[in-house]
Amino acid sequence: MLREKITDEQWQHFQEQGYVLLGRADLDEIAALQQRMDDIMLGTADIDYDRVMMQLDRVDGPDSKPGPQSRGHKGPTLAYRKIQDLELDPLFLAYLQKPLYRDICSRIYGADCNIATFRSMFMNKPAGLGSYLIWHQDRWTNLDRDPLITIWTALDPATKENGCVQIVPGSHRQLLNPEHGSGFLSDEMAAQIASRSDTVYLQMEAGEVVLLHNWMLHTSDVNHTQQSRRAFSVCYMDAATVADNGVTYLVVFGDGALGPA
Ligand SMILES: O=C(O)CCC(=O)C(=O)O
């Protein structure tokens, strides 16, 4: 079970290293999230699909790439790559509103700050599929301030073989390519990072949770196994954040927070 507050030891580890393992969520809750995720992919969930961004892992074609990131269901298959807007689903909303996550947001943004999610996202590497994500830092230049943290929950065992996240501890202190709109490194910079000996594979059991600073350098590979690598990743930010097209985001903690209808 996850505790309700981050310990001082965990907080210190996070500040120094840019990440910290938070423990393991209740496995019945994780089983329910796994089932809900499959239902969403298979098109049987009671959710407004027109509001949910859903991207297939592959679309047919000569170079077989991930599909477009657009709203709406794209057919009943477990081979989705990315699904966003999961704060619209009551089960995922309840999970992302845990007291522990609120406590962490208070430490990062201040106790009086309303919190929104920039993305509440399912990230999947289906069995034998998935795409390589080049080394990057999570940072978006279209926002008027930087979201600072992501809480990443393994919904399956995440291993080196099935494309777990790989990080460089301590790399959260500096943006390496601030000009890039979403924090991606150039191929040369990424090759340099990949050759370092201090990278860490975040191999995790299903239900384990890690807190990541958004500037943490990270990458993830394709899935070389028959075990899917599903994860739920939530980026929490100051709810006052505005995108350059005027968009604001749904509040999950504080005034006007989403909750049971
Ligand atoms: O879940 C993963 O493989 C990491 C995803 C990621 O790097 C991202 O969305 O920024």
Tens digits of pLDDT across the chain (261 residues): 899 999 999 999 999 999 999 999 999 999 999 999 999 999 999 999 999 999 999 987 667 789 999 999 999 999 999 999 999 999 999 999 999 999 999 999 999 999 999 999 999 999 999 999 999 999 999 999 999 999 999 999 999 999 999 999 999 999 999 889 989 999 999 999 999 999 999 999 999 999 999 999 999 999 999 999 999 999 999 999 999 999 999 999 999 999 976
Domain assignment present for residue 261? The answer is no
Q: Which domain range does residue 21 map to? A: 8-253
To test the ligand 1 pocket, which listed residue (82, 133, 139, 150) has its Cβ within 8 A of the most ligand atoms?
Answer: 133
125 CA: nearest ligand 1 atom? 3
133 CA: nearest ligand 1 atom? 7
Domain assignment present for residue 206? The answer is yes
Tokens read off for 82? 């990315």
123 CA: nearest ligand 1 atom? 1
Domain assignment present for residue 247? The answer is yes
Length of the chain: 261
Provide the number of structural domains found in the chain. Answer: 1
What residues line ligand 1, using a CB cutoff of 6 Å?
Answer: 123, 133, 138, 165, 218, 220, 231, 233
Q: How far is the CA of 123 from the centre of ligand 1 (A)?
A: 7
Domain assignment present for residue 143? The answer is yes
Domain assignment present for residue 3? The answer is no
Domain assignment present for residue 32? The answer is yes
The confidence score (pLDDT) of residue 78 equals: 96
To test the ligand 1 pocket, which listed residue (125, 129, 220) has its Cβ within 8 A of the most ligand atoms?
Answer: 220
CA dist 61 to 64, 65, 67, 125, 153, Å? 5, 8, 10, 19, 32
Domain assignment present for residue 103? The answer is yes
The confidence score (pLDDT) of residue 60 equals: 77
Radius of gyration of the chain (CA): 17
The confidence score (pLDDT) of residue 1 equals: 86
The enclosing domain of 24 has a CATH number of 2.60.120.620
The confidence score (pLDDT) of residue 87 equals: 97
Query: 3-state class of 8 per DSSP?
Result: helix
Ligand 1, atom 10, residue with closest C-alpha: 138
Domain assignment present for residue 133? The answer is yes
Contact 134, 190 (CB under 8 A): yes
220 CA: nearest ligand 1 atom? 3
Return the percent helix, strand and coil in the chain, to nearest 5: 25, 25, 50
The confidence score (pLDDT) of residue 161 equals: 98
